[in-house]
A and B are shown apart, each in its own frame.
Chain A
Amino acid sequence: MSRQKRQQNLIGYLFISPWLIGFSVFTAWPFLQSLWLSFTRYDIISEPKWVGFANYHALFTQDPQFWQSLQVTFTYAAVAVPLGILCGFGLALLLNIRIKGQEIYRTLFYIPSIVPAVATSVIFVWIMNPQIGLLNGLLKTVGIIGPNWLNDPTWSLTSLVLISLWGVGGSMVIYLAGLKDVPLSLYEASLVDGASAWHRLKAITWPFMTPVIFFNLIMGVIGSFQYFTNAFIMTNGGPQDSTLFYSLYLFNRAFRYLDMGYASAMAWILFVIVVGATSILFMTQKKWVQYGNN
């Protein structure tokens, strides 16, 4: 290696050293450490004790709460993510039409997505209050007696899905940016051909938008497995574990029961699930995601 090359390497590594050090100390090493911890019993006070596969064995065979948390999380991902895409994309289509006040509408829909998660949670605990909340009050004006929402095990998860839709303006903005890139000439050509609006959506808009939708799908699925703050504040997993999200259960195991080895095993199962789900989605993308036609 020439002196100049060595010099270049040195300078390069100096510039990226903040990340390299942070990556080693806060990501790479903890990543391996948690794998090791997942094979131990560890309560933070005493030294970790090797227990082999005992944590994994207990999780899969003796822990109904683990299965419950998986079910809650998968249900949420399967409902909230597609619904969020549908609503965000639908709104973007509506707001892409040239009408008066377009900017105002866009702002109105976007604002909820920048409200801090803690504030959103506090606001909706109040709005969904069964006795004096706004939601049941409004339902009463149309003659419906509203449920107990967050306090009712049959409605609690639905409530959280509805609340997640409130923030759909964030992804709407991403779709709007994508829609701007669809070449107008294609629409013009299709108008000449007399294609219907539905056909234009299917044949022109949709193919151009699939990469953006794919991105939102991946982020949504990963996000579901990390969904924590809203559930922690609004329901804390209840009632009757009906909103016991995976991350919430993991958090309780780690920091409420100080069951750090067990929680590390859960973290690694989470990792495998996220990698698996992402890989499956990436495998399907050949079938429906179209890159590079713009």
Chain B
Amino acid sequence: MQSDSRWLAPQKWHKILVHFCLIALSLPAVLPLLWMVSTSLKPDREIYATGGGGSAPTLASLLPQAIKWSNYAEALATVPLGDYLRNTIFLCIVSIIGAISSSSLVAYGFSKLTFWGRDVLFVVMLGTMALPGQVTMIPVFTLFKNLGWYGTYLPLIVPAFFASPFLVFLLTQFFRTLPTEMLEAGRVDGATEWRIFIQLVIPLSKPALATCTLFVFLGTWNEFFGPLLYINDPTKYTLAYGLQQFLSNYGGAWSYLMAAATLFTLPILVLFFFAQKTFIQGISTTGGK
């Protein structure tokens, strides 16, 4: 018997077939993004020249013939994307601080402390992850409105400080892998749980906390529903909400819209190339088992 499985190392003609399939399938995966960038750099006359109405697109029309960088400047002049970016980054930073600090505290409680009703509460917490947001949406909206928070960022950031079940789950999984003897040693030395948490557990959990930070960042960057519900002042728009507003106000300005979409998507792609492992690990730990 070969140690290397033949099933996973196929024959040559078989390999060519697989390459052929994969290349054919990756075209629809890649083309939309290429088309986005290419449109963002095209002058209007090129945009209107191809497509179902004009002449059919050729390989050449995939790339802009005359690169028009000024589309980006013009898009920024049409819609204050810079302000939206600042707002989005602000929300990301505050949400990260709130969600990570609160979720790690809660995760430590659930994974390393014993107290009455712990396991039941943990199951309740997991259960809330499956609860559709629509069920609580209206009373929560009313609550924030009655507090006078409508039109401010408070409804978007305050909930972050009360722990996210998803992050708590991720972190408990990680904290459970930390050896209990180490914590016991700290306890015998008379350290308080707070000190053990801050000085032992947190420094050891940097990879898990990095994953959580990435998730909160992505969630906040992409968040559309919250701003849609609570933000009415255009100076407070986030990138996600601003881009949707851009589309509904300037529907035909494709080069500007694609420039804005590129600016909105690019940071995520760059982040992905720097933190590829974290992305994939995060997804497979949450999705797997």
What residues of A have a CB within 8 angstroms of the CB of B57 in the complex? 134, 137-138, 141
A7-32 residues at the B interface, CB under 8 angstroms: 8-9, 11-16, 18-23, 25-27, 29-31
Interface centre among A21, A22, A37, A121 (most CB of B within 10 A): A22
Q: Say yes or no: A16-B109 contact (C-beta < 8 A), given A99-B19, A133-B51.
A: yes
Asked whether A283 is an interface residue with its Cβ less than 8 Å from the other chain, the reply is no
Q: A44-B145, A111-B269, A192-B1 are in contact. Are A19 and B165 (CB under 8 A)?
A: yes
A-contact bits for B104-141, CB 8 A (1 contact / 0 none): 01101110011110100100110010111111111111
* Of A97, A100, A197, most B-chain CB atoms within 10 Å: A97
**Known: A31-B131, A174-B283. Is A126-B5 also a contact (CB below 8 A)?**
no
Overall SS of chain A's interface: helix
Tell me whether B272 and A111 are in contact (CB under 8 A).
yes
Q: How far is the CA of A13 from the CA of B51 in the complex (A)?
A: 62
Look across to chain B and name the residue whose beta carbon is closest to the beta carbon of A118. B240
A53-61, A63-71, A88-96, A152-160: which lies at the interface: A88-96
Cα separation A178 to B288 with both chains bound (whole Å): 7
Query: Max chain A CB contacts within 10 Å: which of B26, B106, B134?
Result: B134
B 180-229 contacts with A by CB, 8 A: 193, 197, 218, 221-222, 224-225, 228-229
Given contact pairs A116-B222, A119-B261, a sample of 18 additional A-B residue pairs in the complex whose CB atoms are under 8 Å apart: A13-B115, A18-B103, A22-B163, A94-B21, A96-B8, A112-B29, A112-B32, A114-B279, A116-B265, A118-B243, A133-B52, A134-B32, A146-B52, A176-B284, A192-B1, A250-B134, A266-B134, A267-B138
Identify the B interface with A (CB < 8 A): 1-2, 5-10, 15, 18-19, 21-22, 25-26, 28-33, 35-36, 39, 47-48, 50-54, 56-57, 102-103, 105-106, 108-110, 113-116, 118, 121, 124-125, 128, 130-143, 145, 159, 161-163, 165, 168, 193, 197, 218, 221-222, 224-225, 228-229, 240-241, 243-244, 247, 254, 257-258, 260-261, 264-265, 268-269, 272, 276, 279-280, 283-284, 287-289
**Could you show 24 A-B contacts with beta carbons less than 8 Å apart?**
A15-B106, A16-B106, A19-B102, A23-B128, A26-B140, A27-B128, A98-B8, A107-B276, A109-B29, A115-B268, A116-B264, A118-B224, A119-B36, A123-B35, A123-B258, A130-B52, A132-B52, A134-B50, A137-B54, A188-B7, A200-B7, A215-B288, A216-B287, A233-B244
Q: Which A residues are within 8 Å of any B CB, using their own CB?
A: 8-9, 11-16, 18-23, 25-27, 29-31, 33-34, 37, 44, 91, 94-101, 105, 107-112, 114-119, 121-127, 129-134, 136-141, 145-146, 166, 169-171, 173-174, 176-178, 184, 187-188, 191-192, 197, 200, 211-212, 215-216, 222, 225-226, 228-229, 232-233, 247, 250, 254-255, 260, 263-264, 266-268, 270-271, 274, 278
